[in-house]
Amino acid sequence: MASETLNRVFGGSPLAVVARLVLISVLVGVILAAIGLDPWNIVRSLRRFIFNIWEMGWDAVETLWRYFLLGAVLVVPIWLLMRLMNVVRR
């Protein structure tokens, strides 16, 4: 009777449930550590994580802007010349 109650409360054998919880906790801990979260100061880590994502976003915009400028140095003059040549032909 007590064993059935424990199984119902834990959702299975208590030892198996604890083992699964430990394994899942370690996996989640590895993932959180990989993205830079610290369990001892979770609020500071979350703020740093959001700030890093924000910075990466702006770095991506800056990189995209630089590629745009680099391409525009060639594309815009060529386009302008092509437009002028079409006007002269008409």
Does residue 90 share a domain with residue 50? yes
Question: Both 53 and 29 in a single domain?
Answer: no
Band of residue 23 on the pLDDT scale cut at 50, 70, 90: very high
Place of tokens 């437009």: 83
Domain count, the chain: 2
Digit-coded pLDDT (tens) for 74-84? 888 888 888 88
**Residue 87 and residue 61 share a domain:** yes
Question: Are both 49 and 79 inside the same structural domain?
Answer: yes
Q: Quick check: pTM over 0.85?
A: no
Whether 36 and 45 have beta carbons less than 8 Å apart is answered as: yes
- Same domain? For 14 and 51 the reply is no
Residue 13 lies in domain: 1-34
Query: CA 34, CA 52: separation in Å to the nearest integer?
Result: 13
Return the DSSP state at 36: T
- Same structural domain for residues 52 and 16? no
User: 88 and 55: one domain?
Assistant: yes
**77 plus 46 within the same structural domain:** yes
* In a shared domain, residues 4 and 26: yes
